[in-house]
Amino acid sequence: MKKQLVTIAIMLGAAIPAKADETGLASIHEWKKESGRRICMAEHFHDGAGSGKTRKEAEAAAKASWASFTAFEYGSNWGRYDLAASKKLDCVQNANGWSCATTARACKRDGGVVKAKGRPAG
C-alpha cells in the first residue's frame, strides 16, 4: 500500500507543471510586448561585466553576470540573455586578456495577457 501511494504521488508530481520562480519584483517596472513573442521591461536595463583570456570568454562571462543577477532579482524566466532586448556589449583588450560589459532590458516568453500600461494582468 505504501509503495502504491508513493508511486501515485510521483505520477501526480510529474503531471503538475513546475511553477516559475518569479520573485514578483518585475511588476514594479512597466512591461511591453515585443517581437518574438516576448514581454520585456519597457525602460529598465540591467548590466553585467566579465573578463577572460579571450574575447569569447569575456563575452560569455559578461552575459552570465547579466543573466545571474537578473534571474536573482526577477526569477529565471527573466534571466535569459538570449531573450533580452536592446543588448549592448562592449569589450576591451587589456594586459590580462579581455574585459566586457553588457547592458540589456530583461524579457521573458509571452505566456499571458498584459495590461495596456504594461504591468502584468492579474
Q: 79-108 burial, b if ≥16 CB within 10 A, otherwise e?
A: bbbebbbeeebebeeeeeebbbbbbbbbbb
Task: Please give the grid coordinates belonging to residue 69.
Answer: 543577477
Q: Do the Cβ atoms of 78 and 66 come closer than 8 Å?
A: no
pLDDT at position 62: 98
Mean pLDDT to the nearest integer, 11-34: 60
Band of pLDDT at residue 29, cut at 50, 70 and 90: confident
The model's pTM:
0.72
Task: Label residue 23 by pLDDT band (50, 70, 90).
Answer: low
**Span 59-85, mean pLDDT?**
95
